[in-house]
Each structure stands twice: as C-alpha cells, then as structure tokens.
Amino acid sequence: MKPRHAYSLLLSTLIALAVTLTLYALSTHLMHKEMVHQSQSVIKLLDHLNRDVQVSWQKLSNNTHAACSEPHLSAMRAELFLTWHIKDIAYMQGDTVLCSVMAGKLKNPFSLPESTYQTKGGATIWIDTDWSVLNKNYNVAIANRNNFAMVIDPTSLENFIDLFYSWELIYRINNQDYHAAGEKGVVDIGSKDHHYFKPFRVKTCNNYNYCTSILSDSLSYLSRNPAVSILIIVLGYLSGWLSYVYIRRYISHLYSIEYRVQRGLANSNFYPVVQPIIDLTTQKIVSCEVLARFEDKAGPLYPDAFIPIIAKQDVSWPFTVLIIEATLASLKKHGLEDEISIAFNVMPRDVTNGNILTLLDLESVAQWRGELTIELTESEELEETQAHKNLSQLKQYGINISIDDFGTGYSNLKYIDQLHCRYLKIDRTFIMDVEEGSIRSSIIPNIVSIAEKSNLRVIAEGVENLAQSTELKRMGIRYVQGYYFGKPMSIANLAQKLKQTTDQ
C-alpha cells in the first residue's frame, strides 16, 4: 500500500471513528434526557396522586354517615369518580376491609397482611398486595389513613416509563428506603453519574419523600432503537468515505506539480546548476549556461515538468529573479566573478511586458563585474517593437542577448539581427546524428555562414561525443555545449573544475 493511500485511510478511519463516537455520545445524551423526562413525569404523577388522595381523605373524614351505609358508600363513590388515579376506595377497621366502592359492603370482610411502611403523614402503606373484589384478584398498592384506604394500580406508573428501562419507585424515611413500585433493587444498581459505556441511573424525588430511579445503558438504548443505530453506522461510514475522498484529493493537491512549484518559489526549493560552454580552439570553459533545478521533500522535479507550470501560473519572472540572485551569490562566494561569463534563460513574455528591465534594479546584478547574457527561449513569440526597446536598454548596460534553441520556434535570422543579439544557440535536434550527415544537420553550415555575416557567435547545444564535436568544428562552429564536455553541475563543482584547468 502506498504511503499516501495508507495515510488517507488512517485519517479517514480516525474521522469516521470520531464521528461515530460523537453520534454515540449524542444518542447517550438524548437517552439521558429521555430518562430524566420520564423520571420527572412519574414524580409529577405521584404529586397529582398525592393531592387527590389527600383531598379524598379530608372529605371522607368529614363524613358522618354510618360506616359502609349506602350514604357512606355514595360519598366514597363520589370521590372515586372525581379522581383519575385511584382505582377503588375502601373502608377499614384496623387491617380489615369492611366495604369498598367496587365491592360494596362485604359479606366476608378480609384482612390485609402486615403493612410495608408508615409515611410521615400518618398513612399506612401496603405494596404488592392482593386486592380481591368482584371475584377478581388485583396486585395493588394501598394507602390507608383515618380508616379510608385508597387503592392504587401501580401499573399506571409504567405508562410514563419506557418498558425497556429498569425502574423503581421508593419511599425514603429515616434514611431507609422502602420499595413502592417497579423492579426491586434498581435504586442500588449502576452509576449515579452519566456514563457512556456503563449502566447509569437517573433519580428524581419529590417533597413527599418519593423517589424514582431509572436504569439503562447506551447499548441497550441503541438495541431498542435500531433506526438510531443504523443512522450512526451510516453517518459514520459516510463521514469516513467522504473524508477519505477529500484527504486523497488534498494530499494529491499537496503533491501535485502545481502546488509544489508554488510552494517551491516561497521556500526556495529551486536552485541553480551550470553547464559549461567550451571554446573548441582552446578546449577551455569560456562561459556557462545557468539551468534551474528543483527538489523538495517529495523529491526532484525536472525542467520539462516545472517550466510549463511556471509559465501557466505566470510566475516566470519571480522564478527567474530567484535563480539569478542565487547564482550570482554563489559565484561571488566561490570567487568566480571575473573568471566566467554567465547566461540566464528568460521567457519572452518577461521581455515584452517589461519585467526584464527590473533586472537593472537588482543589487546583485548592479555589483556583478563579469559578463552577463540573457538567453531568450523560442517557446513564445516576442512582440518585436516592445522587445526591441526593452532589450536595447539592457544592451546599454552591457548585458548580452542570446537566442536559445534556435530553429525550433518563432525566430529567424532577420528577426535575430533586429534584436542585436550576440549569441545564437543551435538546438540539439540539429546536432543529433551530425557525424552521420543527417538532413537537419546539413543546414548547420548555412546557419554559421549567415551568423558570421551578422557578427553572431554560434553555440552548438547537445554535443554528446567526440565525433559530433569534430564534425561541428569542421563546419565552423567554435563554441559547444553538451554532456561530452560537462553535465550540469553545482557552482562549487564548477569552481573546482576551473581550478583544475588553471593548475594544468
């Protein structure tokens, strides 16, 4: 797996995991809010129930009719009718039920088991007690005070709590908890704090010492809400996939030639190398062409890759200035100011638009004591009038003009003569197979003859072997450049090469 792909995959996986965990935490938070809401709903119900029971007790206590008489039962029926949560009202003496609204006066009164607890208000409470009326058994809670027992169906509380939650209602008195409804022991299970991975409980109490405790965990919540689970999975997957696509594109952008070139200009990843130009009569280095190279953390880029991008991004002049200043500084550092002529490549657009004139404002150019030459590439056509004007100003300051890659672009000898060029460099395509007498190379003597009449010095590029050098010399070419005489090298290596030549 390629490092970029692995890096993209790792980041997108982490993002997907982060999104999934965030959604999981959000669902847990929603579950917690739901539990709090349900717990508070139960407490509100208990408050309503307590008020109903208190009002009913107060009214019935003021009843002066004989116990279980018809007027007495009628008063009890009226109270039962006015309440929502009380299922039956009974009259008791001690633990014995004598009559109730549902059963009327009992022929066989029955006794309740031992009560579960006593409230602060003096009520006696029975929890999970069998209530047998009309030949049916009910499991109820009973609250008795002043001989009037309110029969309550605890299942009514369950309507306010999700069946998937474990819950318990307790009554607390004297630091002791009494189970009132729901599932015993819930109040003691789980953490009381909101937790994402462990069971936790929500507890709500009222002013009557009743508390509800609801218990659940996030995984249980997700298991009973499959839509939420599916949504989390889908959004987690989509976030991972989209982030992977974006990261791949972003990394591709970071490693694209366009961005590397843009960043390279800011970070000075471009640097100069030089290739010697040889005088065939003396076999000595008389000049050098400066070539640009590029290297960053991603590796090198070659001119045929970055030059078109520089032209497309319209940053050719900042690029040219960077190379010129870096070259002159390095030549000066190695003490080569007076020993070598140096030639820089310039794009025709920078001649036409006047950028070339700012060359005269560069301190490094103004202080340079050696010979400077500007090589114009034939990749673009010059606007003759403006180019002639701008190049004339350069020549007044002693800067020479050279046409690079002659024969491959827009220039011709008449055009070159009008620009008052000093050098003409024959493109390597004419030099290839010159020793074998190729058709293209056959016009070289004609180029040399016309150039001499115009007082132009001809330089042959791309010389790669002795046979080519010999044939070019026979054709009248004095200056050559190519791998046979020296590959592009650092200025430090050039200085060493010149020193070796001098020592010989």
The Cα diameter of the chain in Å comes to: 147
DSSP state of 457: E
The Cα–Cα gap between 188 and 103 comes to 39
Could you tell me if 52 and 83 are in contact, meaning their C-beta atoms sit under 8 angstroms apart? Answer: yes
Beta-carbon count within 10 A of 57 CB:
23
Amino acid letter, 368: W
HSE, side-chain direction, 13 A CA sphere, residue 257: 15
Task: Based on DSSP, count helices (H) and strands (E) in the chain, helices before strands.
Answer: 16, 20
List the domain boundaries for the chain. 3-222, 268-503
DSSP alpha helices (H): ranges in 424-484? 428-431, 444-453, 466-474
Beta-carbon count within 10 A of 164 CB:
11
The Cα–Cα gap between 252 and 260 comes to 11
268-503: CATH, from 3.20.20.450, 3.40.50.300, 3.40.190.150, 3.90.1310.10:
3.20.20.450
The set of residues, in sequence order, having a beta carbon less than 8 Å from that of 106 and lying 6+ positions away, is 97, 98, 99, 100
pTM here is 0.60
| DSSP-derived pairing of the beta strands 210-216 and 166-173 | antiparallel
pLDDT tens per residue across all 504 residues of the chain: 466 677 778 888 888 888 888 888 888 888 878 888 888 888 888 888 888 888 889 999 888 889 999 999 999 999 888 887 788 999 999 899 999 998 899 888 989 999 999 888 889 999 888 887 756 777 888 999 989 999 988 777 766 666 567 788 888 888 888 888 888 887 776 555 544 556 667 788 888 788 888 887 777 767 777 788 888 888 888 888 888 888 888 877 777 888 899 999 999 899 999 999 999 999 999 999 999 999 998 889 999 999 999 989 999 999 999 999 999 999 999 988 777 899 999 988 898 889 999 998 999 888 888 889 999 876 566 666 788 888 888 888 889 999 887 766 555 566 676 777 889 888 888 888 787 777 777 888 888 888 888 888 999 999 999 999 998 999 999 999 999 999 999 999 999 988 887 665
